[in-house]
Structure 1
Amino acid sequence: MSADFWAGYLSGAAGILIGNPLDLVKTRLQAPKAAPTLEATTAPQNFKSHFDRAGTLARGATAPILGYGALNAILFVTYNRSLELLGVNPVLPKNLFKVWCAGAAGGLATFVVSAPTELVKCRAQVSTGNTSSWSIARDAWKHEGVRGLYYGGGITSIRDAVGYGFYFWSYEWSKQALSTSNDTDRQTAMKVLLCGGLAGIVTWASIFPLDVVKTRVQTQLLRSPTLSEAGEQRGLPQNESEMYAALKRKRLSSLEIARQAYQSEGAGVFFRGLGVCSVRAFVVNAVQWAVYEWMMRLLR
Protein backbone atom coordinates (compact mmCIF):
# COMPACT_ATOMS: atom_id res chain seq x y z
CA MET A 1 0.00 0.00 0.00
CA SER A 2 1.11 3.59 -0.64
CA ALA A 3 2.32 5.97 2.05
CA ASP A 4 -0.76 8.19 1.75
CA PHE A 5 -3.03 5.16 2.28
CA TRP A 6 -1.51 4.25 5.64
CA ALA A 7 -1.07 7.86 6.69
CA GLY A 8 -4.73 8.51 5.91
CA TYR A 9 -5.87 5.32 7.65
CA LEU A 10 -4.03 5.98 10.90
CA SER A 11 -4.94 9.67 11.01
CA GLY A 12 -8.61 8.81 10.50
CA ALA A 13 -8.62 6.26 13.32
CA ALA A 14 -6.88 8.73 15.64
CA GLY A 15 -9.47 11.40 14.87
CA ILE A 16 -12.38 9.11 15.74
CA LEU A 17 -10.89 8.06 19.07
CA ILE A 18 -10.51 11.70 20.08
CA GLY A 19 -13.72 13.13 18.64
CA ASN A 20 -16.43 10.51 19.30
CA PRO A 21 -17.82 11.96 22.58
CA LEU A 22 -18.50 15.37 21.02
CA ASP A 23 -19.73 13.73 17.82
CA LEU A 24 -22.32 11.87 19.89
CA VAL A 25 -23.63 15.16 21.29
CA LYS A 26 -23.73 16.69 17.80
CA THR A 27 -25.74 13.78 16.39
CA ARG A 28 -28.23 13.81 19.27
CA LEU A 29 -28.76 17.54 18.90
CA GLN A 30 -29.41 17.12 15.17
CA ALA A 31 -31.81 14.21 15.45
CA PRO A 32 -35.45 14.78 16.46
CA LYS A 33 -36.35 13.49 19.91
CA ALA A 34 -39.52 11.65 18.99
CA ALA A 35 -39.33 8.06 17.78
CA PRO A 36 -39.63 6.74 15.20
CA THR A 37 -41.24 9.71 13.46
CA LEU A 38 -39.83 13.16 12.88
CA GLU A 39 -42.02 15.00 15.38
CA ALA A 40 -40.11 18.06 16.51
CA THR A 41 -39.20 18.94 20.05
CA THR A 42 -38.17 22.22 21.54
CA ALA A 43 -37.39 20.85 24.99
CA PRO A 44 -34.03 22.14 26.25
CA GLN A 45 -31.23 19.61 26.58
CA ASN A 46 -28.20 20.24 28.74
CA PHE A 47 -24.75 19.07 27.73
CA LYS A 48 -24.42 16.67 30.66
CA SER A 49 -27.62 14.80 29.82
CA HIS A 50 -25.99 13.28 26.73
CA PHE A 51 -23.51 11.35 28.88
CA ASP A 52 -25.81 9.27 31.07
CA ARG A 53 -23.06 6.75 31.86
CA ALA A 54 -19.42 6.09 31.04
CA GLY A 55 -20.25 3.73 28.16
CA THR A 56 -22.11 6.52 26.40
CA LEU A 57 -18.77 8.18 25.58
CA ALA A 58 -17.96 5.37 23.19
CA ARG A 59 -21.47 4.81 21.80
CA GLY A 60 -21.45 4.56 18.03
CA ALA A 61 -17.65 4.54 17.89
CA THR A 62 -17.26 0.97 16.63
CA ALA A 63 -18.42 1.62 13.08
CA PRO A 64 -16.37 4.83 12.63
CA ILE A 65 -13.19 3.32 14.10
CA LEU A 66 -13.45 0.39 11.69
CA GLY A 67 -14.73 2.44 8.78
CA TYR A 68 -13.26 5.91 9.12
CA GLY A 69 -9.68 4.74 8.89
CA ALA A 70 -10.54 3.13 5.55
CA LEU A 71 -12.54 6.21 4.54
CA ASN A 72 -9.62 8.52 5.28
CA ALA A 73 -7.25 6.24 3.38
CA ILE A 74 -9.53 6.31 0.31
CA LEU A 75 -9.93 10.08 0.70
CA PHE A 76 -6.22 10.93 0.73
CA VAL A 77 -5.25 8.43 -1.96
CA THR A 78 -7.98 9.73 -4.30
CA TYR A 79 -7.15 13.34 -3.48
CA ASN A 80 -3.43 12.92 -4.24
CA ARG A 81 -4.06 10.93 -7.42
CA SER A 82 -6.62 13.50 -8.60
CA LEU A 83 -4.10 16.30 -8.09
CA GLU A 84 -1.55 14.38 -10.16
CA LEU A 85 -4.12 13.89 -12.93
CA LEU A 86 -4.82 17.63 -12.84
CA GLY A 87 -1.10 18.36 -13.19
CA VAL A 88 -0.60 19.61 -9.63
CA ASN A 89 2.18 18.61 -7.27
CA PRO A 90 0.47 17.01 -4.19
CA VAL A 91 3.36 18.04 -1.92
CA LEU A 92 2.95 21.76 -2.67
CA PRO A 93 -0.29 22.43 -4.58
CA LYS A 94 -0.56 26.03 -5.78
CA ASN A 95 -3.83 25.99 -7.73
CA LEU A 96 -6.51 26.14 -5.03
CA PHE A 97 -9.38 25.58 -7.46
CA LYS A 98 -7.82 22.28 -8.51
CA VAL A 99 -7.25 21.48 -4.84
CA TRP A 100 -11.01 21.93 -4.23
CA CYS A 101 -11.87 19.72 -7.23
CA ALA A 102 -9.46 17.00 -6.10
CA GLY A 103 -10.89 17.18 -2.58
CA ALA A 104 -14.43 16.87 -3.94
CA ALA A 105 -13.37 13.83 -5.97
CA GLY A 106 -11.86 12.31 -2.85
CA GLY A 107 -15.01 13.00 -0.88
CA LEU A 108 -17.18 11.40 -3.54
CA ALA A 109 -14.95 8.31 -3.56
CA THR A 110 -15.47 7.82 0.19
CA PHE A 111 -19.20 7.21 -0.36
CA VAL A 112 -18.69 3.45 -0.45
CA VAL A 113 -17.49 3.57 3.18
CA SER A 114 -19.06 6.73 4.61
CA ALA A 115 -22.72 5.94 3.83
CA PRO A 116 -23.00 2.67 5.81
CA THR A 117 -20.62 3.93 8.50
CA GLU A 118 -22.65 7.09 9.06
CA LEU A 119 -25.94 5.17 9.09
CA VAL A 120 -24.78 2.71 11.75
CA LYS A 121 -23.02 5.41 13.79
CA CYS A 122 -25.97 7.80 13.86
CA ARG A 123 -28.52 5.12 14.72
CA ALA A 124 -26.31 3.82 17.52
CA GLN A 125 -25.76 7.31 18.90
CA VAL A 126 -29.43 8.30 19.04
CA SER A 127 -30.55 4.97 20.47
CA THR A 128 -31.83 5.20 24.05
CA GLY A 129 -31.07 1.55 24.84
CA ASN A 130 -28.04 -0.72 24.69
CA THR A 131 -28.27 -1.23 20.94
CA SER A 132 -24.87 -2.10 19.49
CA SER A 133 -23.45 -1.02 16.16
CA TRP A 134 -23.36 -4.68 15.14
CA SER A 135 -27.07 -5.24 15.84
CA ILE A 136 -28.01 -2.11 13.88
CA ALA A 137 -25.95 -3.21 10.88
CA ARG A 138 -27.36 -6.73 11.14
CA ASP A 139 -30.97 -5.50 11.23
CA ALA A 140 -30.45 -3.22 8.22
CA TRP A 141 -28.85 -6.05 6.25
CA LYS A 142 -31.47 -8.59 7.32
CA HIS A 143 -34.45 -6.55 6.22
CA GLU A 144 -33.10 -4.62 3.22
CA GLY A 145 -29.75 -6.06 2.26
CA VAL A 146 -26.99 -3.79 0.96
CA ARG A 147 -29.53 -1.12 0.08
CA GLY A 148 -30.48 -0.79 3.75
CA LEU A 149 -26.91 -0.02 4.75
CA TYR A 150 -26.72 2.68 2.07
CA TYR A 151 -29.97 4.39 3.01
CA GLY A 152 -29.40 8.15 2.87
CA GLY A 153 -26.38 7.60 0.64
CA GLY A 154 -27.39 10.25 -1.88
CA ILE A 155 -27.29 13.17 0.52
CA THR A 156 -24.23 11.65 2.23
CA SER A 157 -22.28 11.67 -1.05
CA ILE A 158 -23.25 15.30 -1.76
CA ARG A 159 -22.24 16.32 1.75
CA ASP A 160 -18.89 14.55 1.44
CA ALA A 161 -18.05 15.93 -2.01
CA VAL A 162 -18.78 19.53 -1.02
CA GLY A 163 -17.30 19.21 2.46
CA TYR A 164 -14.01 17.61 1.48
CA GLY A 165 -13.60 20.09 -1.35
CA PHE A 166 -13.59 22.88 1.24
CA TYR A 167 -11.58 20.71 3.64
CA PHE A 168 -8.50 20.48 1.43
CA TRP A 169 -8.97 23.96 -0.02
CA SER A 170 -9.06 25.64 3.41
CA TYR A 171 -6.14 23.58 4.71
CA GLU A 172 -3.87 24.41 1.77
CA TRP A 173 -4.97 28.05 1.69
CA SER A 174 -4.27 28.61 5.39
CA LYS A 175 -1.01 26.65 5.30
CA GLN A 176 0.28 28.68 2.35
CA ALA A 177 -0.82 31.92 4.03
CA LEU A 178 0.87 31.14 7.36
CA SER A 179 3.99 29.20 6.35
CA THR A 180 7.37 30.78 5.63
CA SER A 181 10.68 29.34 4.50
CA ASN A 182 12.24 30.24 7.87
CA ASP A 183 9.86 28.15 10.00
CA THR A 184 11.45 25.81 12.52
CA ASP A 185 10.19 22.24 12.94
CA ARG A 186 8.22 23.31 16.01
CA GLN A 187 6.66 26.26 14.22
CA THR A 188 5.74 24.03 11.28
CA ALA A 189 4.11 21.50 13.61
CA MET A 190 2.10 24.22 15.38
CA LYS A 191 0.94 25.67 12.06
CA VAL A 192 -0.12 22.23 10.84
CA LEU A 193 -2.26 21.87 13.98
CA LEU A 194 -3.75 25.34 13.52
CA CYS A 195 -4.42 24.90 9.79
CA GLY A 196 -5.90 21.46 10.33
CA GLY A 197 -8.23 22.79 13.01
CA LEU A 198 -9.33 25.72 10.86
CA ALA A 199 -9.95 23.38 7.93
CA GLY A 200 -12.24 21.28 10.11
CA ILE A 201 -14.31 24.30 11.16
CA VAL A 202 -14.60 25.65 7.59
CA THR A 203 -15.64 22.23 6.33
CA TRP A 204 -18.44 21.72 8.83
CA ALA A 205 -19.69 25.28 8.53
CA SER A 206 -20.05 24.76 4.77
CA ILE A 207 -22.09 21.56 4.98
CA PHE A 208 -23.80 21.59 8.38
CA PRO A 209 -27.38 21.98 7.07
CA LEU A 210 -26.77 19.01 4.75
CA ASP A 211 -25.44 17.01 7.69
CA VAL A 212 -28.51 17.80 9.80
CA VAL A 213 -30.79 16.52 7.03
CA LYS A 214 -28.58 13.46 6.51
CA THR A 215 -28.73 12.59 10.21
CA ARG A 216 -32.52 12.88 10.24
CA VAL A 217 -32.88 10.84 7.07
CA GLN A 218 -30.75 8.01 8.43
CA THR A 219 -32.29 7.94 11.92
CA GLN A 220 -35.95 8.34 11.00
CA LEU A 221 -36.60 4.59 10.75
CA LEU A 222 -35.57 3.66 14.25
CA ARG A 223 -35.22 6.01 17.18
CA SER A 224 -36.00 3.41 19.84
CA PRO A 225 -33.77 0.58 21.00
CA THR A 226 -35.78 -2.26 19.47
CA LEU A 227 -38.24 -2.81 16.68
CA SER A 228 -40.77 -4.32 19.08
CA GLU A 229 -40.79 -1.18 21.25
CA ALA A 230 -41.24 0.95 18.16
CA GLY A 231 -44.18 -1.22 17.16
CA GLU A 232 -45.79 -0.91 20.58
CA GLN A 233 -45.44 2.88 20.50
CA ARG A 234 -46.98 3.25 17.07
CA GLY A 235 -49.50 0.41 17.09
CA LEU A 236 -47.70 -1.38 14.28
CA PRO A 237 -47.83 -5.15 13.60
CA GLN A 238 -45.78 -7.10 16.15
CA ASN A 239 -44.25 -9.42 13.56
CA GLU A 240 -40.73 -8.04 13.11
CA SER A 241 -40.69 -8.20 9.30
CA GLU A 242 -44.15 -6.64 9.00
CA MET A 243 -43.20 -3.99 11.52
CA TYR A 244 -40.03 -3.07 9.65
CA ALA A 245 -41.97 -2.83 6.40
CA ALA A 246 -44.58 -0.60 8.04
CA LEU A 247 -41.92 1.69 9.45
CA LYS A 248 -40.17 1.74 6.09
CA ARG A 249 -43.32 2.97 4.33
CA LYS A 250 -43.38 5.97 6.66
CA ARG A 251 -39.95 7.20 5.52
CA LEU A 252 -39.59 10.68 4.13
CA SER A 253 -37.21 11.87 1.43
CA SER A 254 -34.37 14.32 2.10
CA LEU A 255 -36.44 17.22 0.74
CA GLU A 256 -39.45 16.23 2.84
CA ILE A 257 -37.25 15.95 5.91
CA ALA A 258 -35.78 19.42 5.29
CA ARG A 259 -39.21 20.95 4.65
CA GLN A 260 -40.74 19.40 7.75
CA ALA A 261 -37.82 20.44 9.94
CA TYR A 262 -38.02 24.03 8.70
CA GLN A 263 -41.80 24.26 9.14
CA SER A 264 -41.78 22.82 12.66
CA GLU A 265 -38.52 24.19 14.08
CA GLY A 266 -37.47 27.10 11.88
CA ALA A 267 -34.20 27.81 10.10
CA GLY A 268 -32.22 27.44 13.32
CA VAL A 269 -32.70 23.67 13.26
CA PHE A 270 -30.18 23.42 10.40
CA PHE A 271 -27.44 24.83 12.62
CA ARG A 272 -28.31 23.04 15.86
CA GLY A 273 -25.16 21.51 17.26
CA LEU A 274 -22.80 23.60 15.12
CA GLY A 275 -21.01 24.99 18.17
CA VAL A 276 -20.23 21.54 19.56
CA CYS A 277 -19.32 20.33 16.10
CA SER A 278 -16.91 23.24 15.56
CA VAL A 279 -15.04 22.49 18.79
CA ARG A 280 -14.84 18.82 17.84
CA ALA A 281 -13.82 19.66 14.26
CA PHE A 282 -10.94 21.86 15.37
CA VAL A 283 -9.50 19.28 17.77
CA VAL A 284 -10.05 16.23 15.57
CA ASN A 285 -8.77 17.72 12.34
CA ALA A 286 -5.77 19.35 14.01
CA VAL A 287 -4.77 15.90 15.25
CA GLN A 288 -5.63 14.20 11.94
CA TRP A 289 -3.51 16.54 9.85
CA ALA A 290 -0.64 16.35 12.33
CA VAL A 291 -0.71 12.54 12.26
CA TYR A 292 -1.04 12.51 8.46
CA GLU A 293 1.85 14.91 7.86
CA TRP A 294 4.04 13.08 10.38
CA MET A 295 3.26 9.67 8.87
CA MET A 296 3.89 10.91 5.34
CA ARG A 297 7.33 12.22 6.32
CA LEU A 298 8.10 8.97 8.11
CA LEU A 299 6.92 6.66 5.31
CA ARG A 300 8.48 8.69 2.52
Structure 2
Amino acid sequence: MSADFWAGYVSGAVGILIGNPLDLVKTRLQAGQTAPAPALLATGGATTPTQRSFKQHFDRAGTLVRGSTAPILGYGALNALLFMTYNRTLSLLNDNPAQPASLAKVWCAGAAGGLASFIVSAPTELIKCRAQVATDRHASSWRIARDVWKAEGIRGMYYGGGITSLRDAVGYGFYFWSYEWSKQSLASPDDTNSQTAMKVLFCGGLAGIVTWASIFPLDVIKTRVQVQVSPSTSGSVEEGSALLQQPGRHKRLGTLAVAQEAYRSEGAAVFFRGLGICSIRAFVVNAVQWAVYEWVMQILQEP
Protein backbone atom coordinates (compact mmCIF):
# COMPACT_ATOMS: atom_id res chain seq x y z
CA MET A 1 0.00 0.00 0.00
CA SER A 2 1.08 3.60 -0.60
CA ALA A 3 2.29 6.02 2.07
CA ASP A 4 -0.89 8.13 1.93
CA PHE A 5 -3.01 5.00 2.52
CA TRP A 6 -1.23 4.13 5.78
CA ALA A 7 -0.95 7.75 6.88
CA GLY A 8 -4.69 8.16 6.31
CA TYR A 9 -5.52 4.91 8.10
CA VAL A 10 -3.46 5.66 11.21
CA SER A 11 -4.62 9.28 11.49
CA GLY A 12 -8.25 8.23 11.07
CA ALA A 13 -8.06 5.63 13.83
CA VAL A 14 -6.33 8.07 16.19
CA GLY A 15 -8.98 10.71 15.48
CA ILE A 16 -11.81 8.36 16.43
CA LEU A 17 -10.15 7.36 19.70
CA ILE A 18 -9.80 11.00 20.69
CA GLY A 19 -13.18 12.24 19.52
CA ASN A 20 -15.62 9.41 20.32
CA PRO A 21 -16.87 10.72 23.71
CA LEU A 22 -17.87 14.09 22.22
CA ASP A 23 -19.20 12.42 19.08
CA LEU A 24 -21.53 10.34 21.25
CA VAL A 25 -23.05 13.51 22.74
CA LYS A 26 -23.42 15.06 19.27
CA THR A 27 -25.23 12.00 17.89
CA ARG A 28 -27.66 11.83 20.82
CA LEU A 29 -28.45 15.53 20.55
CA GLN A 30 -29.02 15.23 16.79
CA ALA A 31 -31.31 12.22 17.24
CA GLY A 32 -33.39 14.18 19.75
CA GLN A 33 -32.49 11.81 22.58
CA THR A 34 -31.52 12.12 26.20
CA ALA A 35 -30.25 9.25 28.26
CA PRO A 36 -32.76 6.90 29.92
CA ALA A 37 -33.98 7.75 33.42
CA PRO A 38 -32.29 4.80 35.18
CA ALA A 39 -28.91 6.27 34.31
CA LEU A 40 -29.77 9.29 36.46
CA LEU A 41 -31.52 7.40 39.23
CA ALA A 42 -28.50 5.22 39.76
CA THR A 43 -26.29 8.21 40.61
CA GLY A 44 -28.14 9.04 43.85
CA GLY A 45 -28.24 12.39 45.65
CA ALA A 46 -28.73 15.87 44.33
CA THR A 47 -27.00 16.95 41.13
CA THR A 48 -26.45 20.23 39.38
CA PRO A 49 -27.77 20.79 35.82
CA THR A 50 -24.21 20.42 34.46
CA GLN A 51 -23.69 17.18 36.37
CA ARG A 52 -27.04 15.85 35.20
CA SER A 53 -26.21 16.71 31.57
CA PHE A 54 -22.85 14.96 31.84
CA LYS A 55 -24.30 11.90 33.56
CA GLN A 56 -27.09 11.65 30.99
CA HIS A 57 -24.58 10.92 28.26
CA PHE A 58 -21.74 9.34 30.23
CA ASP A 59 -23.67 7.11 32.61
CA ARG A 60 -20.78 4.66 32.96
CA ALA A 61 -17.19 4.25 31.83
CA GLY A 62 -18.13 2.03 28.90
CA THR A 63 -20.28 4.80 27.44
CA LEU A 64 -17.14 6.77 26.61
CA VAL A 65 -16.25 4.29 23.90
CA ARG A 66 -19.77 3.22 22.90
CA GLY A 67 -20.04 2.84 19.15
CA SER A 68 -16.30 3.31 18.65
CA THR A 69 -15.45 -0.20 17.42
CA ALA A 70 -16.98 0.22 13.98
CA PRO A 71 -15.53 3.72 13.46
CA ILE A 72 -12.01 2.76 14.62
CA LEU A 73 -11.88 0.00 12.01
CA GLY A 74 -14.10 1.69 9.45
CA TYR A 75 -12.88 5.26 9.76
CA GLY A 76 -9.28 4.18 9.45
CA ALA A 77 -10.16 2.56 6.12
CA LEU A 78 -12.35 5.53 5.19
CA ASN A 79 -9.55 8.01 5.86
CA ALA A 80 -7.10 5.88 3.89
CA LEU A 81 -9.47 5.78 0.91
CA LEU A 82 -10.21 9.49 1.29
CA PHE A 83 -6.59 10.64 1.20
CA MET A 84 -5.63 8.22 -1.58
CA THR A 85 -8.52 9.41 -3.77
CA TYR A 86 -7.82 13.06 -2.98
CA ASN A 87 -4.15 12.80 -3.91
CA ARG A 88 -4.80 10.78 -7.07
CA THR A 89 -7.59 13.12 -8.22
CA LEU A 90 -5.49 16.21 -7.64
CA SER A 91 -2.69 14.64 -9.69
CA LEU A 92 -5.16 13.84 -12.49
CA LEU A 93 -6.16 17.52 -12.41
CA ASN A 94 -2.50 18.37 -13.06
CA ASP A 95 -1.83 19.79 -9.62
CA ASN A 96 0.70 18.83 -6.96
CA PRO A 97 -0.87 17.26 -3.82
CA ALA A 98 2.15 18.32 -1.73
CA GLN A 99 1.83 21.98 -2.77
CA PRO A 100 -1.40 22.55 -4.72
CA ALA A 101 -1.64 25.72 -6.77
CA SER A 102 -5.40 25.79 -7.31
CA LEU A 103 -7.81 25.83 -4.35
CA ALA A 104 -10.69 25.13 -6.74
CA LYS A 105 -9.00 21.89 -7.79
CA VAL A 106 -8.36 21.10 -4.12
CA TRP A 107 -12.10 21.40 -3.41
CA CYS A 108 -12.99 19.17 -6.36
CA ALA A 109 -10.42 16.55 -5.35
CA GLY A 110 -11.72 16.62 -1.78
CA ALA A 111 -15.29 16.16 -3.00
CA ALA A 112 -14.16 13.20 -5.13
CA GLY A 113 -12.48 11.72 -2.06
CA GLY A 114 -15.69 12.20 -0.10
CA LEU A 115 -17.74 10.38 -2.72
CA ALA A 116 -15.26 7.50 -2.79
CA SER A 117 -15.29 7.22 1.01
CA PHE A 118 -19.06 6.64 0.94
CA ILE A 119 -18.35 2.94 0.37
CA VAL A 120 -17.04 2.76 3.92
CA SER A 121 -18.70 5.73 5.61
CA ALA A 122 -22.36 4.76 5.02
CA PRO A 123 -22.34 1.41 6.90
CA THR A 124 -19.85 2.69 9.47
CA GLU A 125 -21.98 5.75 10.27
CA LEU A 126 -25.16 3.69 10.45
CA ILE A 127 -23.69 1.21 12.95
CA LYS A 128 -22.02 3.95 14.99
CA CYS A 129 -25.17 6.09 15.27
CA ARG A 130 -27.37 3.17 16.27
CA ALA A 131 -24.85 2.02 18.87
CA GLN A 132 -24.64 5.51 20.34
CA VAL A 133 -28.40 5.94 20.79
CA ALA A 134 -29.11 2.38 21.95
CA THR A 135 -30.60 2.07 25.43
CA ASP A 136 -29.36 -1.50 25.85
CA ARG A 137 -26.08 -1.31 27.76
CA HIS A 138 -25.00 -4.57 26.15
CA ALA A 139 -25.39 -3.19 22.64
CA SER A 140 -22.25 -3.47 20.57
CA SER A 141 -21.25 -2.47 17.06
CA TRP A 142 -20.91 -6.14 16.10
CA ARG A 143 -24.34 -7.05 17.41
CA ILE A 144 -26.01 -4.15 15.64
CA ALA A 145 -24.22 -4.96 12.37
CA ARG A 146 -25.28 -8.61 12.68
CA ASP A 147 -28.92 -7.70 13.34
CA VAL A 148 -29.07 -5.25 10.42
CA TRP A 149 -27.42 -7.73 8.06
CA LYS A 150 -29.73 -10.54 9.14
CA ALA A 151 -32.85 -8.44 8.72
CA GLU A 152 -32.06 -6.38 5.64
CA GLY A 153 -28.80 -7.56 4.08
CA ILE A 154 -26.50 -5.18 2.20
CA ARG A 155 -29.31 -2.67 1.56
CA GLY A 156 -29.80 -2.28 5.29
CA MET A 157 -26.13 -1.52 5.83
CA TYR A 158 -26.34 1.30 3.28
CA TYR A 159 -29.62 2.76 4.50
CA GLY A 160 -29.30 6.57 4.35
CA GLY A 161 -26.49 6.27 1.83
CA GLY A 162 -27.77 9.07 -0.41
CA ILE A 163 -27.66 11.79 2.24
CA THR A 164 -24.38 10.36 3.55
CA SER A 165 -22.68 10.63 0.14
CA LEU A 166 -23.93 14.22 -0.32
CA ARG A 167 -22.69 15.16 3.16
CA ASP A 168 -19.28 13.57 2.51
CA ALA A 169 -18.77 15.16 -0.91
CA VAL A 170 -19.59 18.69 0.26
CA GLY A 171 -17.87 18.29 3.63
CA TYR A 172 -14.59 16.88 2.38
CA GLY A 173 -14.46 19.44 -0.41
CA PHE A 174 -14.40 22.17 2.23
CA TYR A 175 -12.16 20.05 4.47
CA PHE A 176 -9.21 19.98 2.11
CA TRP A 177 -9.92 23.46 0.75
CA SER A 178 -9.89 25.11 4.20
CA TYR A 179 -6.79 23.18 5.30
CA GLU A 180 -4.77 24.16 2.23
CA TRP A 181 -6.05 27.75 2.27
CA SER A 182 -5.10 28.30 5.92
CA LYS A 183 -1.81 26.42 5.55
CA GLN A 184 -0.76 28.53 2.55
CA SER A 185 -1.90 31.74 4.25
CA LEU A 186 0.16 31.07 7.38
CA ALA A 187 3.23 29.53 5.72
CA SER A 188 6.56 31.30 6.13
CA PRO A 189 10.03 30.26 4.89
CA ASP A 190 11.46 31.26 8.27
CA ASP A 191 9.33 28.82 10.29
CA THR A 192 11.11 26.44 12.64
CA ASN A 193 9.99 22.80 12.92
CA SER A 194 7.99 23.58 16.07
CA GLN A 195 6.29 26.56 14.42
CA THR A 196 5.40 24.43 11.41
CA ALA A 197 3.95 21.74 13.68
CA MET A 198 1.85 24.29 15.57
CA LYS A 199 0.52 25.70 12.30
CA VAL A 200 -0.41 22.20 11.11
CA LEU A 201 -2.35 21.66 14.34
CA PHE A 202 -4.13 25.00 13.97
CA CYS A 203 -4.92 24.54 10.27
CA GLY A 204 -6.18 21.02 10.87
CA GLY A 205 -8.43 22.19 13.69
CA LEU A 206 -9.75 25.08 11.62
CA ALA A 207 -10.45 22.74 8.70
CA GLY A 208 -12.51 20.54 11.02
CA ILE A 209 -14.66 23.46 12.18
CA VAL A 210 -15.19 24.81 8.65
CA THR A 211 -16.16 21.36 7.41
CA TRP A 212 -18.78 20.70 10.07
CA ALA A 213 -20.19 24.21 9.85
CA SER A 214 -20.74 23.67 6.11
CA ILE A 215 -22.61 20.36 6.44
CA PHE A 216 -24.12 20.25 9.91
CA PRO A 217 -27.79 20.39 8.83
CA LEU A 218 -27.10 17.53 6.40
CA ASP A 219 -25.46 15.56 9.21
CA VAL A 220 -28.45 16.07 11.52
CA ILE A 221 -30.79 14.73 8.83
CA LYS A 222 -28.41 11.84 8.10
CA THR A 223 -28.32 10.85 11.75
CA ARG A 224 -32.11 10.90 12.07
CA VAL A 225 -32.51 8.89 8.88
CA GLN A 226 -30.02 6.23 9.93
CA VAL A 227 -31.26 5.67 13.49
CA GLN A 228 -34.65 4.70 12.12
CA VAL A 229 -35.19 0.97 12.34
CA SER A 230 -36.89 -1.28 9.84
CA PRO A 231 -40.13 -2.86 11.16
CA SER A 232 -38.53 -6.23 10.35
CA THR A 233 -35.70 -5.55 12.79
CA SER A 234 -36.44 -6.11 16.47
CA GLY A 235 -34.57 -6.28 19.75
CA SER A 236 -33.54 -3.83 22.43
CA VAL A 237 -30.31 -3.06 20.58
CA GLU A 238 -32.34 -1.17 18.03
CA GLU A 239 -34.30 0.88 20.55
CA GLY A 240 -33.16 4.14 22.01
CA SER A 241 -33.94 7.05 19.76
CA ALA A 242 -36.85 9.29 20.58
CA LEU A 243 -37.34 9.65 16.84
CA LEU A 244 -38.23 5.97 16.61
CA GLN A 245 -40.59 5.77 19.52
CA GLN A 246 -43.62 7.29 17.81
CA PRO A 247 -46.82 5.22 18.04
CA GLY A 248 -48.48 4.31 14.81
CA ARG A 249 -45.35 4.46 12.67
CA HIS A 250 -45.03 1.30 10.61
CA LYS A 251 -42.40 2.34 8.10
CA ARG A 252 -39.29 4.46 7.94
CA LEU A 253 -39.38 7.98 6.56
CA GLY A 254 -37.34 9.13 3.58
CA THR A 255 -34.70 11.83 3.83
CA LEU A 256 -36.98 14.71 2.82
CA ALA A 257 -39.77 13.50 5.12
CA VAL A 258 -37.35 13.26 8.05
CA ALA A 259 -36.19 16.83 7.43
CA GLN A 260 -39.77 18.10 7.14
CA GLU A 261 -40.86 16.33 10.30
CA ALA A 262 -37.88 17.63 12.27
CA TYR A 263 -38.57 21.20 11.14
CA ARG A 264 -42.30 20.93 11.82
CA SER A 265 -41.87 19.54 15.32
CA GLU A 266 -38.74 21.35 16.52
CA GLY A 267 -38.14 24.33 14.26
CA ALA A 268 -35.06 25.42 12.30
CA ALA A 269 -32.86 25.27 15.41
CA VAL A 270 -32.97 21.46 15.29
CA PHE A 271 -30.62 21.48 12.29
CA PHE A 272 -27.90 23.08 14.41
CA ARG A 273 -28.42 21.11 17.60
CA GLY A 274 -25.07 19.81 18.80
CA LEU A 275 -23.02 22.18 16.62
CA GLY A 276 -21.20 23.63 19.64
CA ILE A 277 -19.98 20.30 20.98
CA CYS A 278 -19.25 19.17 17.43
CA SER A 279 -17.06 22.24 16.77
CA ILE A 280 -14.99 21.56 19.88
CA ARG A 281 -14.59 17.93 18.87
CA ALA A 282 -13.83 18.88 15.26
CA PHE A 283 -11.00 21.23 16.22
CA VAL A 284 -9.31 18.78 18.58
CA VAL A 285 -9.75 15.68 16.41
CA ASN A 286 -8.73 17.22 13.12
CA ALA A 287 -5.78 19.10 14.60
CA VAL A 288 -4.38 15.80 15.84
CA GLN A 289 -5.46 13.92 12.72
CA TRP A 290 -3.67 16.24 10.30
CA ALA A 291 -0.58 16.30 12.51
CA VAL A 292 -0.49 12.48 12.58
CA TYR A 293 -1.07 12.31 8.82
CA GLU A 294 1.77 14.73 8.04
CA TRP A 295 4.07 12.97 10.52
CA VAL A 296 3.41 9.46 9.15
CA MET A 297 3.79 10.69 5.57
CA GLN A 298 7.13 12.24 6.45
CA ILE A 299 8.35 8.99 8.03
CA LEU A 300 7.17 6.76 5.19
CA GLN A 301 8.56 8.99 2.46
CA GLU A 302 12.03 9.24 3.98
CA PRO A 303 14.66 7.47 1.81
Same fold (TM over 0.5): yes
2-side partners of 1:57 and 1:32: how far apart?
19
- What is the deviation of 1:47? 3.4
1:131 aligns to 2:142 (yes or no)? no
For residue 45 of structure 2, what is the aligned residue in structure 1? none
SS at match of 1:90: coil
Residue deviations 1:160-214, cap 9 Å, x none?
0000000000000000001111110000000000000000000000000000000
Residue deviations 1:10-48, cap 9 Å, x none?
0000000000000000000000339xxxxxxxxx98233
2-side partners of 1:271 and 1:95: how far apart?
31
Q: How many residues align?
A: 279
- Please show how residues 73-152 of structure 1 align to structure 2 within 5 Å: 73-129=80-136, 130-152=138-160
- Please show how residues 116-195 of structure 1 align to structure 2 within 5 Å: 116-129=123-136, 130-195=138-203
- What is the deviation of 1:221? 1.4
2-side partners of 1:226 and 1:122: how far apart?
12
- What is the deviation of 1:94? 1.6
SS at match of 1:146: helix
1-side partners of 2:29 and 2:202: how far apart?
27
Residue deviations 1:125-147, cap 9 Å, x none?
00011211111101111011000
For residue 298 of structure 2, what is the aligned residue in structure 1? 297
2-side partners of 1:216 and 1:226: how far apart?
16
1-side partners of 2:117 and 2:98: how far apart?
22
Look up the equivalent residue of 1:160 and give its one-letter code: D
* Contact 2:144-2:238 within 8 A present in 1 as well: no
Show structure 1 runs of 5+ residues with no match. 35-43, 237-246
Look up the equivalent residue of 1:258 and give its one-letter code: A
For residue 11 of structure 1, what is the aligned residue in structure 2? 11
- What is the deviation of 1:224? 7.5
Instruction: Report the TM-score when normalising by structure 1.
Output: 0.89
- Please show how residues 25-44 of structure 1 align to structure 2 within 5 Å: 25-33=25-33
SS at match of 2:189: coil
For residue 278 of structure 1, what is the aligned residue in structure 2? 279
Q: Work out which of the residue numbers 195, 198, 211 in structure 2 matches 1:203.
A: 211
For residue 63 of structure 1, what is the aligned residue in structure 2? 70
CA RMSD of aligned residues (A): 2.2
Q: Pick closer, same or farther for the CA change 1:194–1:256 going to 2, 3 Å.
A: same
Look up the equivalent residue of 1:48 and give its one-letter code: K
Identity score, percent: 73
2-side partners of 1:270 and 1:228: how far apart?
22
Residue deviations 1:103-125, cap 9 Å, x none?
00000000110000000000000
Show structure 2 runs of 5+ residues with no match. 35-49
